[in-house]
Amino acid sequence: MLTILCLAGLALYLSRRRPVRVTATGPAVDDLAGAVRTYKLIQERAYRPPSPREACRGAIDGMVEAVDRYSTYVRPGAADDLHRRLSGTLEETGLRIAARDGRLVTIGSLPGSPADEAGIGADEDVAAVDGIDARYLTLERARQMLRRPGRGPVRVSLRRPDGRETLHDLEPARFPVRTVTGIARDREGRWVYDVDDRSGICYVRISEFVPRRTVSELHAAYRQMDDPRGLLLDLRGNPGGWLQAAAVTVDRFMDSGVIVRTVSRGGQEYVHRAHPAGTYAPVALAVLIDERTASAAEIVAGALKAHRRAVLVGQPTRGKWYAQTRVDIGHGLGSMYLTTAEYFLAAPLPDTRPAEAATASAPAATGPDAPASTGAAERPGVAPHVPVRLPVRAARELDLLRMGLLVRPSPPAGAVGTRRTKPARPERRTRRAVLDLDEPLAEAVRVLQRELAPETRPTATAPSPARRATRGDP
């Protein structure tokens, strides 16, 4: 009934707007005849009938939702915010907080954010937000208030460890966010990528795929690694992003082969292929995935798996094999992200390992000949070679630890005006804490260690001479 009402409102609204023209007769009008009648009945008899504009927005919402579970209607105001996020920027205060011993405390400020410019660091009690005592705010509610875009400054009252209170008016502003990070930070605040001091295994986390920036950040991180023997690529929680950025990322680790095939309406195809130019020197590769790994991130994991270029560790991915395109509706009604294409991975290479190993790494049914589905849930996600689940409690502690790594590092207590410095090699303590909490990551490290051991390395996975390409610039 709601969808019918929405369609009716849209038909009535569009019929009154110019330059959109709707004739009195036609297939579209005939299809909406029942919806128009329902709309008129509601306008005549409902106690509180919706306004034409609200009915129109409801119509759009209903129609877009009927396409599939990935198409989304974004109302005015929220459209720009979502588009900015997909472009690698945020518009908010940048202050990060957490709950500790029944109190709300600051974790720190994201670099370049209004909170960072205000000099807000870690371990300050949140006394109030917009005049509301923090004792009456849940953590989630306080975070929502701090992240609101375009609604004027947020007044935050903080209490420092010495008891002194400070007041900050933080005006939400736009600032870029980093999409590629390491496992820890050193005493200068620089990202550290080595998981330890001996194995030669490095770790890179990609939070989303943003045009140009993600590839550039990945290349900058790779150049900081000292001749790595193995690489851990963490795509857990990555919702996707831009296909081109994902395809170029895969191209860094493959010198040939089909990365992904995109099929749009009418059967039009576009094939992304890997090229020798710019391919990194071959190293053992493991990819971490989970149920929140989606879209472009799934393409990266799935392509590397299909070409037997990486071992996947974690949980099956979301299974979102559809591309959305932003379409502006006009008339001040916002925009929609409409499914316009479907992704297909290349056919998996034959597996020459023993039967038990081949069975464990059987790829998901996402090859080029997989049938196009009418429902988005019909195609499974990418399955890991090594299934490992992260416990909920460990996941929460890990999120807090990572949040602390993302914010601007605070100067050590007593460092101003003294000779005190940060402790030597603080990344060692952080790396140990991460590996203790993150069992999937620890298992991926063990997988690469076995892969790198000469006596246990499978012959089939050894890199071929053709893949010994040089490192290229983005």
Residue 471: which pLDDT band, with cuts at 50, 70 and 90?
Answer: very low
- Give the per-residue pLDDT at 424: 62
Q: Specify the 3-state DSSP secondary structure of 84.
A: helix
* Listed range (34-38, 321-325, 379-383, 470-474) with the worst mean pLDDT: 470-474
Compute the mean pLDDT over every residue in the chain, rounded to the nearest whole number: 82
**pLDDT confidence band for 410 (50 / 70 / 90):** low
Could you tell me the two tokens for 306?
């299909």
5-64 pLDDT per residue, tens: 444 445 444 444 444 454 556 677 777 788 778 888 888 899 998 888 888 888 888 889
Nearest Cα neighbor of 169 from 151, 156, 152, 150 is 156
Task: Using the predicted structure, report yes or no on whether residue 119 has a pLDDT greater than 90.
Answer: yes
d(CA 327, CA 415): 52
**pLDDT for 149:** 64
Q: What is the mean pLDDT of residues 271-278?
A: 95
Residue 316 CA to residue 385 CA, distance in Å, equals: 10
- pLDDT tens, 294-308? 999 999 999 999 999
| Cα 254 from Cα 211, distance rounded (Å) | 19
Per-residue pLDDT of 336-362, as tens digits, reads: 989 999 999 987 776 554 443 333 333
pLDDT for 458: 43
Q: What is the amino acid identity at position 113?
A: S
Report d(CA 281, CA 266) in Å as an integer. 40
- pLDDT > 90? residue 130: yes
Q: Read off the pLDDT band of 412 (50, 70, 90).
A: low
The pLDDT of residue 368: 32
Which has the closest alpha carbon to 1: 53, 55, 44, 71?
55
Residue 239, preceding peptide bond in cis (omega within 30° of 0): no
Q: Of 77-86, 156-165, 372-381, 462-471, which range is least confident?
A: 462-471
What distance in Å separates the CA atoms of residue 178 and residue 148, rounded to the nearest whole number? 20
454 pLDDT higher than 70: no
Q: Among residues 127, 132, 129, 137, which one has the least CA distance to residue 159?
A: 127
pLDDT in tens, 183-240: 999 988 899 999 998 899 999 999 999 988 999 999 999 999 988 999 999 999 999 9
Task: Give residue 455's pLDDT.
Answer: 45
Which pLDDT value is given to residue 105? 96
Where do the DSSP E strands lie in 184-334?
Answer: 184-185, 191-192, 201-206, 230-234, 258-264, 269-273, 284-289, 311-314, 322-328
Q: What is the pTM of this model?
A: 0.80
Q: What's the pLDDT at 411? A: 60
CA distance linking residue 340 with residue 262, whole number of Å: 10
* pLDDT, position 352: 52
DSSP symbol at 277? T
DSSP 376: G
Structural domains in the chain, CATH included, are 2-67 (no CATH), 69-88+177-474 (3.90.226.10), 91-176 (2.30.42.10)
DSSP secondary structure letter of residue 377: G
The better pLDDT of the pair 206, 379 is held by: 206
Torsion of the alpha carbons at 115, 119, 121 and 127, rounded to the nearest 10: -70
Q: Which residue type, as a one-letter code, is found at position 389? A: R
Residues of the chain above pLDDT 70, percent: 78
